[in-house]
Structure 1
Amino acid sequence: MLTLLQQPLCPLSRFVRLILAEYDIDARLVEERFWERREEFLILNPAGTIPVLIADGIPPVPGAAIIAEFIEETRPVDEGVNGLLPMESGGRVEVRRLASWFNDKFHAEVSGPLVTERVFKRHMTLEQGGGPPDTASLRAARHNIRYHLAYIGWLARSRNWLAGDRLSLADLAAAAHLSSVDYLGDVPWNEDEAARVWYARVKSRPSFRPLLNETLAGIPPAKHYADLDF
């Protein structure tokens, strides 16, 4: 069985979990306090970041984008299951572009700061970067999410799914990051109806249920978080 080193509210970890669930691939989830920089963990991933996927017979697979490609390359082919990457090269470029937008840009500007400041720093020592949340970082992230949400809404109004006609890695990346922020109650859903309707479609999928059923000790989710109809 595969093992995924992750954190429950880490949006990059959630992205990988959604991919695994969409393909019905079992994986053992192990919480990794990456900020502690355990020697055993750094041997697996010298960068000290999560998620990391561990499989028998191959080196550890570090990073959400690399894990996504690994799963696409190695998953058992099922004729009844559409892949999360299109067959045509142009479609693949668009899916990868949008997945990178959310896993890199959205993460840097919104989900990363919000989860770090409001969740991860609670468990860190001062030497590890812990302490009270940085209000400037929170304020900037809450400002930045508005143009990202508008972009998602524009994509959702223009296409059936964010990158085209079918659900893809782009939708899972966007939904994973939004789910982490939505848990904390920081998504202004009233600002874009198309984005809200699209997200409701994604979070209604069976792959999303484990995420919606999880709660963090001492940090309850927003009241609407697990409501499929908001």
Structure 2
Amino acid sequence: MYAVMYYNEEAVFVSAKSRSELNKKVREYEDIIFNRFGDLADNFMEERVYSDGINSFEELKASEPKFNGYVQVGVDDFYRLSDKHQLEIDKITEEHDKFFSDINNKIETKTRLGAFLHCVLGDYIWDINEDVVQGNAFQVFWYWGSVEEYVKFLNDEMKNARNSIINIYLLYLANKEDLEDCQPDDMNDISMEYLNKIGSGNVCDEIGENRLDNLTVKEIKELNKYLEATGFDKIVF
């Protein structure tokens, strides 16, 4: 009898001579996976079969075509990055972090708007970069599919960094009334809530047509002040 835990074309095959032994092994592996991946561990699939006749992963693939594309790994090897991939991630995340942190450090934080821009952009840096690095490789595969796509994504984010100031400014305008009672020093306590309204992966998205058309001259000048301060071209009006 066997159990198999699988995801993203990798599988951990567990075999045992009895149901109790199998359950014990599965619980041990579940603990390992949960400790490594936390809440994301729920995304792993598990299949248990209490029958004789299958004693290896190769035999399983022969009887279950859905596993033909999977490779067998040890439970500790789920999404373990190769040295090459680890170097690529270290390089791009360091570059991305410095790039956006340099931008963020140019934003004043004494006003409500400035503090909002600074805190939301800071949360973006943490969520899209530091949290992934400090977490585990599973997040890279789960959200981006591959190391290559994650590297491409962060490079694209840097190319489109100007959009981050505009999108966060528009986010501020959309929630301006809700923020009236929030002091600049307290903005960091609530900024993630507002970042989640647009999603970290959308902060540097292209500005949709007509999104700036309804801004007043005063608002455009206000936005331009922050674009100029962070080294980006101002909006021409």
TM-score (structure 2 length as normaliser)? 0.26
TM-score (structure 1 length as normaliser)? 0.27
Larger radius of gyration: 2
More helix by share: 2
